[in-house]
Each structure stands twice: as structure tokens, then as C-alpha cells.
Amino acid sequence: MKRKYFITALLFLFFAGSVILYGDIGGKSGRTRKNSTAGCGSCHGSSANSGVSVTIDGPDTVNVGQTNQYSLTISMAGKTGAGLDISKRLGTLAPVSSNTHLSNNELVHSSNIPMTSSTVTVQFSYTAPQSTAIDTIWATALATNSNGGTGGDSWNWAPNKSIVVRLPVGIQNISTARDFSISQNYPNPFNPETNIKIDLLKDMNISVNILDVLGDEVSTIQSGRLDKGEHIIKWNGLNFPSGVYYYEVKGDEFSSAPGQTFTLIKKMLLLK
């Protein structure tokens, strides 16, 4: 009988130890800057490591209720695997890559994600809320040695991804606005002046508005008819604080579709 109890105790300690060692192998939520300053430090080193590159890519502006695909890229020299935690403020996340799943409404890895040449890109979808807002996606990522342990692992945060959620009326993506286009402002970042280039295929009414990070209009720098061709519109941010801004270009295709407007938006950074 004593032998039986002894074996049972050993089995209990073995499985308990396994839970402690491998309990987070399927991902752990609550590790992003949304609700923690510890990151992955409880298991994988106390401090973020700048050697781990973590970036979120995807649209900066979406319509209310719209679903778009985003990606998280993780890389670090010498590492072979990765883990992640992706959270949001308002919208809804869903896995696209098969090696992720939802946990507490956050996306986490299902197992160690293999890297190729020390990098990996994971796809996911984001569905915007049903009302206008400035939403945020946060991410924390782990670069591993793919050995089942924590020794030598490193982690870092991704720069926060801000998303402008706007009403869909009159808003089109730059690729579908056939009669005009806008380019990324230059220089960017800038201090205090930057240039916004607009290319028109025909005469149009054009307005250019500057929005702050909350989506509020802070300045109008162009309003009225412009001839077809290339135009450079300048904005001087001397009297504005450093930060992320958006330039919103509205075009009225009065010559072919009276009253129909298209809005294109891009992000820029004023850095003083």
C-alpha cells in the first residue's frame, strides 16, 4: 500500500511539474501593453529586448464594421521559433494563420511557431467596431530556441497600431479612386513643414483636412477646385504638438458624377 501511494505521489509531482513547465505552451493572453507592463517577463526574461523586431502591418483607416487582414512579423537573428499575444481596444480579432487561436478575446500562439531564416509572419483579421473611433492593436512577441524551455528566449513589444474607424459613406481605398490619388507626405517624419502630393486625372473640387490622432479635424489647408495634373499642398505644423496626424483628401467628381465624393486618408508623423 505504501508503494502504491509513493508511485501516485511521484506521478502527481511529475504531471504538476509538467503543468508548471509547459502550462503556457499554447499561448498566454494579457501580455500586451493594453493591460501589462511585464510583457513575457514572468517566464522569458525580465526586460524587453530591442533585438526582437516586432511589427504590425495593415490598413490605417477602415470603415465601421469592415474586416481587413493584418499581419504580425517577428524576427531575431539566431532564433528558430516564435510566440505572440495580440490584443485590441474596440474591434474584434480572429485567427487567419493556423498556428494561432483566441484566448480571452486575444490572439495567442497554439504552439511554438517555426521561423524561416530567423523570421516569421503571422496573419490575422481585424473587424472594426460599428461606430467611428480611433482603435488600437497591441502586440507582444517572443523569439525562441524551439527547445521547449525558456532559456535564451527573448521578447519585445510591437509599436502600437492606431486605426481610424470612419463612416463608410463616400470613403474608398486609394486603389479604387480612379480620378485622383495621393502619395505619402514627404518628408515624413517632419518638422515643421511637409508636402502632400495630389495627382488629378481631371479637374475636381478638392479639400485637404488635417486630423489629429482622435480623428478630429484640426486644420483645412485646401478647399476648392484644382485643375487636372500634379499639385503639392504644404502643411506647417509649427503650432501643433508632436504626434501622429492624418491628412484627409476629399475629391468631388463633379464632371462625371455630381455630388459623389471620395475620401483618401494617410498617416504622418510630426516630430519636434
Q: Per-residue pLDDT tens for 95-107?
A: 999 999 999 999 9
Span 138-154, pLDDT tens digits: 999 999 888 777 677 88
**pLDDT value, residue 261:** 63
- The whole-angstrom separation of Cα 163 and Cα 133 is 8
Q: Read off the pLDDT of residues 132-188 as tens digits, 9 standing for 90 and up.
A: 778 899 999 999 888 777 677 889 999 999 888 877 543 333 333 456 788 899 999
C-alpha cell at 247: 491628412
* Helix ranges restricted to H, the chain: 2-22, 41-44
What pLDDT shows up at residue 153? Answer: 86
Chunked mean pLDDT (size 10), the chain, 272 residues: 46 39 61 82 75 93 88 95 93 93 94 94 93 87 83 88 72 47 91 92 88 83 90 94 88 55 82 89
How many other CB atoms are there within 10 angstroms of residue 193's CB atom?
12
pLDDT value for 216: 77
| pLDDT score at 168 | 57
* Bridge partners, residue 205, by sequence: 225, 252
- Residue burial 52-72, b: 16+ Cβ < 10 Å; e: rest: bbbebebbebbbeebeeebeb
**Contact, 53 vs 88, CB < 8 A?**
no
